[in-house]
């Protein structure tokens, strides 16, 4: 049971496994006390013994604050570490002096205005709202903390209200700040680049600053809005792990500051680079939600918390818990070169193979025959599709397939009617060049008129034809960022206002079209984050569909995201991004670790390969619930090793599927054993591919033999079904 115990000046948030505790100092400042395994006691006096401080008046004790672990530090009273809230007041002052005012506990989690946020089911969470004030500025800071029953995660956010008579300029607003008592941790970030997203990077903490960020306008492939701190001996199955994830799709920062006294300050929130927010009297600012996960069962333990959070408290709508259609996308098969006949032929072959939905990608609108034009002009190209979008949708449906369509609504091509009519509708700064990327500019979604245009453009196509699915793409970084609608003193608000505008459009469109399955995409995985997941239950994980690289990308992605959110497709070999050949079976085995589909013209397969493909699709169909919604467990990491392995286990542990990929073949190699996890020790499982019956204990203690075939990128799949 999630509960919040408030006693004297102590706040204890806990569920059956985890506790998070902070208290107020004598002068009303929030001090961090504990975050870890559940404590039965309230732990009221213990931290005071530990710190031996002159407890009652921290603020006026010379530099004493620097030694105190805090919950939401500010500048000006002796703590010279980075603040969670930094601002400049009308008189130029930068000090902020927060003092406790009051608190309230909610049984139902309140939403965050204008932002995606985790939600609860009746009674399965508790939320604490605790209010502090700076009397001089008239500023109120409300910190929100939610503890859930079913996952060991604390959701945090902050709301700043200007109740004073003068404007303040907010310069840094963290969603969460936690001071850890020691710095004997290693930092994990998900870092990378386009087509190499979410590579796991792990290094020991060093004195000073470290972390991750994005100032690219999107949450980015370079650094996900996530970091974890783990002990040196933490591995996939054992050891402590602390996760920090932000439910946001724009600029973000994750920071650890190791100070000379050996504490580690961890912060996560909006990136303060190029950011400033003018908060006038009566106005409020809400920081995005941070999700802080704890586990002492290793990285898999931490991931299990996030996976549960995403499944139960993030994804919404008709498809949140439903099966997703196996799709066939034409992008890698045709790029822009298609017409209706070609599309129907590709779709027909997909149907014969057993696929369930055809998705028409980029190139169906304006005069877009390459990526140089037409974004913004969302009118069907009748030269390519003479029967219009409804004609094509009807023909695809007549084949017995669902129909999906690609959009890139946030963009405008300089060569478009939209740009010619509204040259000021894109992000730009006065008298500066408009930097193009992929021959396109970013629409200024901080503007209400632009948001209205985008919403109506998408809605009118969705209303014009029977469209079952939308791929919502976004293919460039934002630079330079500025808005023609905002006054000079508000220009640095543009990037965040953009996200608020986008979230508003997504909220309205997903409500208006509740039966449409939305998949987000941003040059592959440039915006793979919890924010987009709130509106769209799955995201295209990477433009790199090479099975070898996908093994790494999906492994990294799984640190936070369950496989039900990960768009993963089988594609042509040699792969068009890296030129690598990999066996068809391996491409299937890797794509099975996500929302399954194909990204190729199946007509290129010979009869043997086509028969194999039909059988593969049959297999995935037969196990689709297990594959999509089973508990994902990482077994062997491909980072720095030559074999990757993972498994999915049914929630009742009656079934499991195990996959292993050998990245590089080695002569005269030992036969590897793969020890499984998450099974029931006393149960007997039939391992179909080995024609053997083994107990859960044998499978977890001794393991499965990995007898790979010769060649790089060979793979194995094992299907375990228990007889009870
Ligand atoms: C980037 C996406 O990730 C691809 O899948 C494809 O939709 C292209 N954009 C189309 O321009």
405 beta partners? 360, 470
Q: What is the 3-state secondary structure (H, E, C) of 37-61?
A: ECCCCCCCCHHHHHHCCCHHHCCCC
Q: What is the pLDDT of residue 666?
A: 87
- Cα 138 to Cα 70, 77, 99, 163: the distances in Å are 22, 18, 12, 5
158, 172 in Cβ contact below 8 A?
A: no
pLDDT at 52 over 60: no
What is the mean predicted confidence (pLDDT) over 444-449?
98
Q: What is the pLDDT of residue 669?
A: 82
pLDDT, one tens digit per residue, over 537-576 is 999 999 999 999 999 999 999 999 999 999 999 999 999 9
Collapse the DSSP code of 91 into the 3-class scheme (helix H, G, I; strand E, B; otherwise coil) and give the result.
Answer: coil
* Cα of 154 from ligand 1 centre, angstroms: 35
Q: Which of 34 and 26 is assigned the larger pLDDT?
A: 34
Closest residue to atom 2 of ligand 1, CA basis:
523
What is the mean predicted confidence (pLDDT) over 85-110?
97
Q: What is the pLDDT of residue 724?
A: 65
Does the residue 628 lie in any domain?
A: no
Q: What is the pLDDT of residue 53?
A: 54
* Ligand 1 neighbourhood includes 350 CB (under 6 angstroms): no
pLDDT at 44 over 80: no
DSSP code for 441: E
Q: What is the pLDDT of residue 668?
A: 86
Collapse the DSSP code of 175 into the 3-class scheme (helix H, G, I; strand E, B; otherwise coil) and give the result.
Answer: strand
Does the residue 224 lie in any domain?
A: yes
Q: How far apart are CA 661 and CA 643, in angstroms?
A: 6
242 beta partners? 229, 294
Best of 359, 375, 521 to mutate for ligand 1, by most ligand atoms within 8 A of CB? 521
pLDDT, one tens digit per residue, over 127-179 is 999 999 999 999 999 999 999 999 999 999 999 999 999 999 999 999 999 99
pLDDT at 63 over 70: no
Residue 542 CA: which ligand 1 atom is closest? Answer: 3
Q: What is the pLDDT of residue 50?
A: 66
* Ligand 1 neighbourhood includes 475 CB (under 6 angstroms): yes
Q: Which of 294, 314, 334 is the C-terminal boundary of a domain?
A: 314
* Ligand 1 neighbourhood includes 330 CB (under 6 angstroms): no
pLDDT at 48 over 70: no
Q: How far apart are CA 171 and CA 215, in angstroms?
A: 15
712 catalytic? Reply is no
DSSP code for 354: T
- Cα 572 to Cα 182, 546, 560, 605, 710: the distances in Å are 49, 9, 28, 9, 21
pLDDT, one tens digit per residue, over 407-438 is 999 999 999 999 999 999 999 999 999 999 99
Give this prediction's pTM. 0.98
DSSP string, 357-372: EEEE-S-SBTT-SSTT
Residue range of the domain that includes 169 = 71-314
Closest residue to atom 1 of ligand 1, CA basis:
523
What is the mean predicted confidence (pLDDT) over 378-385?
98
* Ligand 1 neighbourhood includes 364 CB (under 6 angstroms): no
pLDDT at 47 over 80: no
- Cα 127 to Cα 2, 113, 161, 455: the distances in Å are 9, 16, 19, 33
Q: How far apart are CA 400 and CA 389, in angstroms?
A: 17
pLDDT at 126 over 80: yes
- In the structure, what pLDDT confidence band is assigned to residue 670 with cuts at 50, 70 and 90? confident
The tally of domains found in the chain comes to 2
645, 635 in Cβ contact below 8 A?
A: yes
Does the residue 486 lie in any domain?
A: no
- Residue 411 — φ and ψ, nearest 5°? -120, 160
Closest CA to 664 of 628, 592, 714: 714
SS3 content of the chain, % helix, strand, coil (to 5): 25, 35, 45
* Ligand 1 neighbourhood includes 148 CB (under 6 angstroms): no
473 catalytic? Reply is yes
Q: Which of 314, 345, 377 is the C-terminal boundary of a domain?
A: 314
* Cα of 371 from ligand 1 centre, angstroms: 10
- Residue 528 — φ and ψ, nearest 5°? -90, 90
H-helix segments, 161-220:
none
Measured in residues, the chain has a length of 724
Q: Give the count of beta carbons closer than 10 Å to the beta carbon of residue 41.
A: 9
310, 565 in Cβ contact below 8 A?
A: yes
Closest residue to atom 11 of ligand 1, CA basis:
362
Which entry of 362, 477, 543, 546 is annotated as an active-site residue? 543
Does the residue 657 lie in any domain?
A: yes
* CATH code of residue 144: 2.70.98.60
Does the residue 142 lie in any domain?
A: yes
Closest CA to 147 of 303, 245, 21, 316: 21
- In the structure, what pLDDT confidence band is assigned to residue 57 with cuts at 50, 70 and 90? low
pLDDT, one tens digit per residue, over 278-330 is 999 999 999 999 999 999 999 999 999 999 999 999 999 999 999 999 999 99
Q: What is the pLDDT of residue 38?
A: 96
Closest residue to atom 9 of ligand 1, CA basis:
523
pLDDT, one tens digit per residue, over 315-373 is 999 999 999 999 999 999 999 999 999 999 999 999 999 999 999 999 999 999 999 99
Q: What is the pLDDT of residue 122?
A: 77
Q: Which of 1 and 394 is assigned the larger pLDDT?
A: 394
Q: Give the count of beta carbons closer than 10 Å to the beta carbon of residue 397.
A: 15
Residue 379 backbone class (left: φ over 0; alpha: ψ -120 to 50; beta: rest): beta
Closest CA to 170 of 504, 489, 502: 489
609, 623 in Cβ contact below 8 A?
A: no
* Cα of 523 from ligand 1 centre, angstroms: 6
Q: Which of 281, 298, 314 is the C-terminal boundary of a domain?
A: 314
* CATH code of residue 701: 2.60.40.1180
What is the mean predicted confidence (pLDDT) over 22-28?
88
Does the residue 383 lie in any domain?
A: no
What is the mean predicted confidence (pLDDT) over 1-28?
93
Does the residue 34 lie in any domain?
A: no
* Ligand 1 neighbourhood includes 598 CB (under 6 angstroms): no
326, 621 in Cβ contact below 8 A?
A: yes
DSSP code for 297: B
Closest CA to 317 of 537, 599, 541, 472: 537
Looking at the chain, the whole-number percentage of residues with pLDDT higher than 70 is 97
Closest CA to 294 of 38, 48, 487: 38
pLDDT, one tens digit per residue, over 592-637 is 999 999 999 999 999 999 999 999 999 999 999 999 999 999 999 9
Does the residue 153 lie in any domain?
A: yes
Q: What is the pLDDT of residue 95?
A: 96
Q: How far apart are CA 419 and CA 423, in angstroms?
A: 5
Q: What is the pLDDT of residue 109?
A: 97
Radius of gyration of the chain (CA): 26
Residue 522 CA: which ligand 1 atom is closest? Answer: 3
6 beta partners? 11
């Amino acid at each position: 049971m999630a509960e919040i115990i408030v006693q004297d000046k102590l706040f204890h948030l806990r569920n059956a496994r985890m506790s998070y505790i902070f208290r107020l100092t004598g002068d009303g400042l929030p001090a961090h006390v504990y975050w870890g395994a559940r404590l039965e006691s309230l732990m009221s006096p213990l931290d005071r013994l530990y710190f031996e401080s002159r407890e009652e008046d921290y603020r006026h004790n010379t530099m004493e604050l620097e030694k105190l672990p805090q919950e939401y530090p500010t500048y000006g009273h002796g703590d010279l570490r980075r603040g969670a809230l930094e601002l400049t007041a009308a008189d130029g002052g930068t000090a902020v002096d927060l003092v406790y005012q009051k608190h309230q506990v909610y049984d139902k989690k309140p939403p965050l205005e204008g932002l995606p946020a985790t939600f609860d089911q009746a009674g399965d969470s508790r939320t604490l709202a605790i209010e502090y004030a700076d009397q001089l500025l008239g500023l109120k800071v409300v910190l929100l903390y939610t503890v859930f029953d079913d996952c060991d995660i604390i959701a945090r956010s902050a709301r700043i209200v200007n109740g004073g008579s003068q404007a303040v300029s907010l310069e840094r607003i963290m969603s969460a700040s936690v001071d850890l008592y020691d710095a004997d941790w290693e930092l994990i970030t998900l870092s990378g680049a386009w087509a190499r997203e979410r590579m796991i990077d792990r290094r020991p903490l060093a004195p000073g600053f470290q972390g991750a960020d994005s100032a690219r306008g999107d949450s980015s492939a370079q650094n996900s809005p996530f970091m974890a701190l783990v002990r040196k001996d933490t591995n996939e199955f054992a050891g402590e792990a602390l996760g920090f994830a932000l439910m946001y799709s724009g600029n973000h920062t994750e920071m650890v500051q190791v100070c000379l006294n050996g504490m580690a300050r961890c912060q996560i929130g909006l990136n303060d680079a190029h950011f400033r927010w003018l908060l006038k009297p009566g106005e409020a600012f809400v920081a995005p939600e941070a999700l802080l996960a704890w586990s002492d069962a290793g990285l898999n333990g931490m991931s299990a918390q996030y996976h549960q959070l995403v499944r139960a408290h993030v994804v919404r709508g008709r498809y949140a818990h439903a099966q997703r259609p196996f799709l066939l996308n034409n992008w890698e098969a045709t790029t822009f070169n298609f017409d209706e006949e070609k599309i129907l032929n590709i779709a027909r072959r997909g149907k014969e193979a057993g696929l369930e939905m055809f998705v028409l990608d980029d190139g169906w609108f304006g005069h877009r025959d390459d990526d140089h034009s037409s974004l913004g002009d969302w009118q069907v190209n009748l030269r390519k599709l003479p029967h219009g979008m409804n004609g094509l949708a009807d023909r695809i449906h007549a084949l017995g397939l669902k129909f999906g369509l690609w959009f890139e609504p946030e963009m405008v091509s300089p060569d478009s009617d939209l740009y010619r009519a509204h040259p000021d509708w894109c992000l730009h700064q006065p008298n500066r060049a408009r930097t193009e990327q992929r021959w396109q500019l970013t629409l200024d979604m901080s503007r209400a008129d632009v948001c209205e245009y985008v919403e109506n453009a998408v809605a009118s196509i969705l209303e014009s034809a029977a469209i079952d699915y939308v791929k919502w793409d976004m293919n460039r970084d934002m630079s330079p960022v500025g808005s023609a609608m905002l006054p000079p003193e508000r220009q640095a608000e543009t990037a965040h206002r953009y996200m608020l505008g986008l979230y508003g459009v997504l909220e309205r469109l997903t409500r208006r079209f509740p039966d449409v399955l939305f998949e987000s995409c941003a040059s592959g995985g440039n915006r793979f984050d919890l924010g987009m997941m709130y509106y769209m239950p799955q995201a295209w994980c990477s433009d790199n569909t090479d099975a070898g690289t996908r093994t790494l990308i999906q492994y990294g992605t799984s640190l936070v995201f369950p496989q039900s959110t990960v768009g993963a497709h089988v594609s042509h070999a040699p792969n068009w991004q890296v030129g690598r050949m990999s066996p068809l079976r391996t491409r299937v085995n890797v794509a099975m670790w996500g929302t399954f589909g194909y990204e190729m013209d199946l007509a290129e397969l010979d009869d043997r390969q086509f028969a194999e493909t039909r059988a593969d699709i049959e297999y995935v169909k037969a196990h689709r619930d297990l594959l999509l919604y089973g508990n994902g467990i990482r077994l062997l990491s491909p980072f720095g090793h030559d074999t990757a392995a993972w498994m999915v286990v049914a929630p009742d542990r009656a079934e499991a599927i195990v996959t292993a990929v050998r990245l590089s073949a080695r002569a005269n190699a030992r036969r590897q054993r793969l020890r499984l996890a998450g099974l029931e020790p006393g149960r007997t499982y039939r391992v179909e591919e080995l024609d053997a019956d083994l107990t859960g204990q044998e499978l977890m203690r001794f393991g499965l033999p990995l007898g790979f075939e010769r060649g790089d990128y060979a793979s194995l799949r094992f299907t375990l079904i228990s007889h009870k």
